[in-house]
Amino acid sequence: MKIVFIGASSLAIATAELLLQGDHEIIIIEKDKAVIDELIEKIDCVFMHGNGSKPAILKETDPDSIDVVFCLTKSDEANIIASLVARSLGIQRVITRIEDVEFEHICIELGLNDTIIPTLNNARYLANIAAGRNILELSAIIRGNVRLFSFIADETCEEPVGDLDLPKHSRVIFLYRDNVFQPTDEETKLKQGDEVVLVTTTDEYEQLHEKWSNGKAM
């Protein structure tokens, strides 16, 4: 695969190093020349000096050949803009890093479905460790073609979970209402703004995404 990183953050470099083990083509775009000079001898990939939020810079990477773009700068705003630019150039898979959770719904509304919040995820993990809980890694239980999908309910979804027109192998498993976990059953009535989480399959994921365009993989 051809993978482009916008921003040479520590997360970007660590991810790039892992991907290079699989012989993928890696391009890192970084606007700080000093950072490039420091890294160029340490990691065997292509570096480009420039602002990855600028369409002209990203066009130099031949967007039609790119499989994935990771927007991993230290600025949420820059990552969102760079993601939108990448999407406008026809790149289908764009991963957007944000730190401020208030941007999450904005990303969903903009169609940036692959949004990650590393600090929040790490904080939850550390809090569980501190509490002495034995956390089962999600990767250990999500196997084969099983996937998780979530969407934000709008006014058209204010109905019981059991009335949702879901594909055969897809099920609602819980929701977040005002960021509070809430289990669901067939009678649970959705409200506008609920983040609804489903378990589904790879094949049915696309059907769900077509139905709820603000949805995202989890």
Do 91 and 155 share a structural domain?
no
Per mean pLDDT, which range of 9-23, 66-80, 128-142, 185-199 is the poorest?
Answer: 128-142
Do 173 and 82 share a structural domain?
no
Given this model, what pLDDT does residue 214 score?
67
Q: Is residue 130 part of a domain?
A: no
3-state secondary structure of 47: strand
CATH number of the domain within which 54 lies:
3.40.50.720
Q: What φ, ψ does residue 205 adopt, rounded to 5°? A: -55, -45
Q: Is residue 61 part of a domain?
A: yes
Q: Measured between alpha carbons, how far is 217 from 205 in angstroms, rounded to an integer?
A: 8
Q: Is residue 132 part of a domain?
A: no
Do 53 and 112 share a structural domain?
yes
- How many CA atoms, within 13 angstroms, populate the side-chain half-sphere of residue 139? 0
Q: Is residue 127 part of a domain?
A: no
Q: Is residue 197 part of a domain?
A: yes
Per mean pLDDT, which range of 17-21, 41-45, 59-63, 205-209 is the poorest?
Answer: 205-209
Whole-number average pLDDT of the chain: 88
Tens of pLDDT along 63-98?
999 999 999 999 999 999 999 999 999 998 999 999
Q: Measured between alpha carbons, how far is 108 from 127 in angstroms, rounded to an integer?
A: 26
User: What is the domain count for the chain?
Assistant: 2
Tens of pLDDT along 47-57?
999 999 999 99
Token pair of 146 as six digits: 């099983």
Range of the domain at 180: 138-217
Q: pTM of the prediction?
A: 0.66
Q: Measured between alpha carbons, how far is 55 from 211 in angstroms, rounded to an integer?
A: 30
Do 183 and 106 share a structural domain?
no
DSSP 100-159: -GGGHHHHHHTT--EEE-HHHHHHHHHHHHHTT--PPPGGGT--TTEEEEEEE--GGG-S
